[in-house]
Structure 1
């Protein structure tokens, strides 16, 4: 499987590479390190001055790509690519199309607090347009020696079953435990009895998801489930334990077009509260780790 890694000349680029290395712990993985320059390629410039400027930018980008490539261990297949497009996000999506990639990896905005997300322009554009999963590295992220767990945040709306199948396959392929979580928002206005009923329902939903995951994983890895409640999504997330070396998978909004990402309200709240990387899976997506030539949507 091929992963597009958005390379920039700042910490976001290093964080994206770190997350790509964490995800690429499979023999078939290949990293495509991509930097995108806005505007035309030098040979397509409309004037000599524009051509010279684009050549200058390309030279700087080549230096960044060489440094980025040096961060990848020799036992991981990697290539560098310089693209020209109307925007960085568009260039990454085009590269994913042309190279048959199954994932786009980018860093969060450099303005985020340590190990927290602040979604920048590139990530925001990808989270509303990409047709392949998008992995986001939080600020300050460094690659663990190996993944210790994958967590899948499950809802009850259409598409949750597909996300569960994606999570099961991704965890089994990497031989890491899979944790299924259900986040319950307990409104302060609810009566105590109502809150207990909501939590009871959430526990039942988590049990059903666990049973399905256990059947799908076919004893290839450990699967557990957890329910966390709070007066907000952020509070529920903070009540769960998190490993520095785990990754969370969530699905995109039900408002998304088929096989596209559209980040909903709950996912946005999760994104800003999580201390670990997040992978957003498009609606109706089939696999996180499709091989070249395989379809990546259902």
Structure 2
């Protein structure tokens, strides 16, 4: 199992490394820290690039990459890569595909507060295009111990089965408890007095399906949480410090691609723990396998 980590020499990069290391320790995975070297462009500081400038830039990137690798706990295998691409998102997606990674991990924008999320341009691009799950580390994420629980948001729209199967497989790999959550926004125009009852029935159905898929490999529970808004409902949930939340892509997403829908965006604004967004029609866990490689830089 391999994870690609979008590393930058910033707090956001450190948050991403910390989250990736926590998940890797839980799942027995290897990390590939990737720094993207922007391709030649008339919008760069020096254009056309002078050889001296390129040499300095490459030397600086290698220094930053070594610093990033130093952040990874010794118990987690890690390699570093410098990739040329026209954007950070493209570089990370290409690296994930070439390395056979099952997860891309990035940090939230640096202006996030209270360990909540503010989505930057790189994360936003990934959340609308990546072919593998994307994990988002909240601002200031500093946990080092393994995960303690997986929470999965379940809905009744297309893609709900994809994220459920991924959540079960992910939890079962390490025997972590899996909690299914159905969120009910009572002020939504489509909601009526039966909304909570319907949500409970749906949650019970998803619970039965998850228990069938888990086949005793991990404990599974389900809860329905209501609030005036989705954000209020999230605030009513209790979260462990060692928890991550999985959510599926919008029904507008193409096959095997991410697309962050309106509900996921609302959840993200209030969520105090890392979020993993699963592509539509994705098969497998959020910890895909790949052959081992020993490459350090490219």
Indicate whether the TM-score tops 0.5: yes
Q: Note the aligned Cα RMSD (angstroms).
A: 1.9
* Counterpart Cα distance in 2 of 1:147 and 1:74: 18
- Deviation of the 1:241 alpha carbon: 0.5
Counterpart of 1:138? 138
Counterpart of 1:220? 217
Counterpart of 2:92? 92
Deviations 1:173-226 (A, max 9, x none): 1221000000011128899xx33x110110110001111111111111111111
CA 1:199–1:31 in 2, change beyond 3 Å: closer, same or farther?
Answer: same
Counterpart of 1:291? 289
Deviations 1:107-129 (A, max 9, x none): 00001103100000100010111
CA 1:48–1:198 in 2, change beyond 3 Å: closer, same or farther?
Answer: closer
Counterpart of 2:184? 184
Using the size of structure 1 for normalisation, the TM-score is 0.91
- Are 1:104 and 1:134, in contact at CA under 8 Å, matched by a contact in 2? yes
- Are 1:155 and 1:182, in contact at CA under 8 Å, matched by a contact in 2? yes
* Counterpart Cα distance in 1 of 2:228 and 2:55: 53
Deviations 1:230-288 (A, max 9, x none): 11110010011111110000001000010000111111111111000000000000122
* Counterpart Cα distance in 2 of 1:179 and 1:55: 50
* Counterpart Cα distance in 2 of 1:269 and 1:249: 14
- Are 1:144 and 1:245, in contact at CA under 8 Å, matched by a contact in 2? no
* Partner SS for 1:67: helix
CA 1:17–1:285 in 2, change beyond 3 Å: closer, same or farther?
Answer: same
Query: 1:83-232 residue pairs with structure 2 within 5 A?
Result: 83-187=83-187, 194-195=192-193, 197-232=194-229
The answer to whether 1:269 aligns with 2:262 is no
CA 1:82–1:189 in 2, change beyond 3 Å: closer, same or farther?
Answer: closer
Query: 1:27-42 residue pairs with structure 2 within 5 A?
Result: 28-40=28-40
- Deviation of the 1:54 alpha carbon: 2.4
Counterpart of 2:296? none
Deviations 1:150-174 (A, max 9, x none): 0000110112112111100000112
Unmatched 5+ stretches in structure 2: 292-298
Counterpart of 1:296? none
CA 1:53–1:290 in 2, change beyond 3 Å: closer, same or farther?
Answer: same
Counterpart of 2:70? 70
Unmatched 5+ stretches in structure 1: 294-298
Count of residue correspondences: 286
* Counterpart Cα distance in 2 of 1:285 and 1:136: 18
